[in-house]
Structure 1
Amino acid sequence: MDLKLEMIVLPVSDVDRAKAFYEQLGFRLDVDYTATDDFRAVHFTPSGSECSIIFGNGMTTAVPGSAQGLYLIVSDIAEAHAELTNRGIQVSDVFHDAGGLLHHGHHAGDVTHHDEGQKRLHGLHPERTSYASYLTFNDPDGNGWILQEIKTRLPGR
C-alpha cells in the first residue's frame, strides 16, 4: 500500500496575515475557499513539493503556532538563506548541530538544548555534509519551520 503525505494543517489566528506570509515566502496559492462565515480554507504548496499546507477558519482546534518541526529541504542552504532574507522573511543564521548529522531540536526558536552534545554551532557544517546544515524561521503565529540542506540523499530515498 502506498501512503503519501499530501497535506499538513497549520493552526493560525489570522488567516489573511498567514496568507500574506506564505505568499511572501514563495509558496504557490492553490485554493482560497470560503464556504460560510465560519469556514475558510487556504491551501498552499511549497515550490517543488508534493506535500501542501492548509489553514483557515474552522480547520483545526489546535493552538495557533503549535505546529513545530516542519521541515523544508533545500539543495543549497546559503542560497536559501539569501533568497528568504531578500523576500523579507526573518530567518535564523545558518547553523549545524554539535551532536552530529541531525538537528536534535525541532522548535524553530530553540537555540539551546537540554541534552549533552545538542548545541547549535554557527555556520555551515564544516564538511558541508548532507542533512547537516540548517536554518529556521517561524510564521506570524509561531509555527516553526526548519530548512535542511540535502545535496545527496541516503540510499532508498
Structure 2
Amino acid sequence: MDWKIELVPVPVSDVDAAKNFYVNQVGFADDFDQRVNEDLRFVQLTPPGSACSVVIGEGTTDMVPGSQRIQIVVPNAAGARQHLLNAGVETSEVTPLDWGTFVYFSDPDGNQWSLQELPAVTES
C-alpha cells in the first residue's frame, strides 16, 4: 500500500503577500485559490516537479505563522540558490554536509525552507 504526502500547511499572516512570494519569487505553481466561505480561503501551491503541494490561506491551520519547517530535494543546490537570488529571495550560502548540500531560505513570515541536493551515490 502506498502512502503519499500530498498537502502540507504553511501558516502565513498575509495570504496575498505569501502567495506572491511563493509564486512570483520562489516559482511555485498557483494551483488553486478559492474562498470557500467567510472563514476559509484555500490556496494550493506546488513546487516545480513536486508531487506534494502546500496550502496557505485563512482557516487552513492553527499553526502560528513562521513556525513551519519544510525540506525539499533539488537536483542542484547552487542552481536553486541562484534562482532564488535572481528573484530577490535572501538565502544562505551553499552548505556542503556529508548527507547532502543545502541552501536555506525563509518566507516573509519566517517559515523555514531547506533545499537539499542529495549526495552522489558511489558504487562499491
List gaps (5 residues or longer) in structure 2: none
Structure 1 residue matching 2:20: 3-state secondary structure:
helix
Deviation sequence 1:104-154 (CA, Å, 0-9, x none) = xxxxxxxxxxxxxxxxxxxxxxxxxxx2x1110001111110011126469
**Alpha-carbon offset, residue 96 of structure 1:** 2.5
**Alpha-carbon offset, residue 37 of structure 1:** 2.4
Please report the RMSD computed on the Cα atoms of aligned residues, expressed in angstroms: 1.5
List gaps (5 residues or longer) in structure 1: 103-130
Structure 2 residue matching 1:148: 3-state secondary structure:
strand
**Alpha-carbon offset, residue 95 of structure 1:** 1.1
Matched, 1:18 2:23: no
Residue 72 of structure 1: aligned partner: 72
Superposition pairs of residues 45-124 of structure 1, within 5 angstroms: 45-68=46-69, 70-97=70-97, 101-102=98-99
Percent of aligned positions that are identical: 44
Structure 2 residue matching 1:82: 3-state secondary structure:
helix
Higher strand share: 2
Residue 2 of structure 1: aligned partner: 2
Q: Structure 1 length normalisation: TM-score?
A: 0.72
Structure 2 residue matching 1:147: 3-state secondary structure:
strand
Matched, 1:28 2:33: no
Structure 1 residue matching 2:72: 3-state secondary structure:
strand
**Alpha-carbon offset, residue 38 of structure 1:** 1.5
The answer to whether the 8 Å contact 1:75/1:151 transfers is no
Higher helix share: 2
Bigger Rg, which one: 1
Q: Which of structure 1's runs of 4+ aligned residues deviate more than 3 A?
A: 151-154
Q: Structure 2 length normalisation: TM-score?
A: 0.91
